[in-house]
Amino acid sequence: MYTAISWGRRLYGAVDRMPGGVYVGTMCGHFCYLPLIPHGSMIVTGKDGDAFQGVQIPLSLKSWAVGWVQVVLTGLMVMLGMMLMGLLIASCDDDPKIRKQIDLGRDRVMLKWVAGIEAALGGLMVATTVIPGVGRASPARAKELAQILAMGQAQAKPPDRRMGPYGRYV
């Protein structure tokens, strides 16, 4: 059953993406999908069902911050999307009583502004995944993460540590 109020642990802020689907993410305790308490970061090498495979690293503030930025941008985009739909519906209504209450010139200007802001927020969301040094790892960072990954996998005891859906290692 789906509920709007949710809490638990979830991986946020995928940053420093490298070839092969490897990236850095931060497991956070969340309430209503807002990442509140960071529990640690890891270099994610894969996913096995609900469990993330990888090597744990010290907390990545960049990953946590990007997770927050993406959550806030998503919330703003949803709210502006609902406003955009309301403006579209109101401007297309043919009821004369409603037409008296609506200033179509003003509504069309608002419609353009809301659509423009929505597009800008979408662009920012995409930018968090493609900007070198944030979404994609710079060459120096990729080399550093590859070294950590090689050391971490050499020290790992079979089976590799995997972070489960609630942040527990399985």
Token reading at 137: 């790892």
Report residue 156's pLDDT band, with 50, 70 and 90 as the boundaries.
Answer: very low
DSSP letter for each residue of 65-105: HHHHHHHHHHHHHHHHHHHHHHHHHHHH---HHHHHH--HH
Q: Looking at 4-13, 121-130, 136-145, 158-167, which range is the least confident one?
A: 158-167
Q: Looking at 32-36, 117-121, 153-157, which range is the least confident one?
A: 153-157
Q: If you average pLDDT over residues 61-72, what whole number do you get?
A: 89
Pair 77, 125: CB distance under 8 Å? yes
Q: If you average pLDDT over residues 150-165, what whole number do you get?
A: 56
Q: List all residues 6 or more positions away from 81 whose beta carbon is below 8 Å from its beta carbon.
A: 118
Report residue 25's pLDDT band, with 50, 70 and 90 as the boundaries.
Answer: very high
Report residue 24's pLDDT band, with 50, 70 and 90 as the boundaries.
Answer: very high
Q: If you average pLDDT over residues 93-118, what whole number do you get?
A: 72
pLDDT at residue 1 greater than cutoff 70: no
Per the model's pLDDT, the better-predicted residue between 90 and 103 turns out to be 90
| Domain range annotation of the chain | 7-130+153-163
Q: Sign of the CA dihedral 35, 39, 42, 48?
A: negative
Q: In whole angstroms, what is the distance from residue 61 CA to residue 77 CA?
A: 24
> Which residue in the block uniquely carries the two structure tokens 């010139």?
105
pLDDT at residue 3 greater than cutoff 60: yes
DSSP letter for each residue of 18-44: ETTTEEEEEEEEEETTEEEEEEEEEEE
pLDDT at residue 155 greater than cutoff 80: no
Report residue 120's pLDDT band, with 50, 70 and 90 as the boundaries.
Answer: very high
Token reading at 75: 């919330």
Per the model's pLDDT, the better-predicted residue between 22 and 100 turns out to be 22
Pair 91, 111: CB distance under 8 Å? yes
Token reading at 52: 């993330």
Q: If you average pLDDT over residues 144-167, what whole number do you get?
A: 63
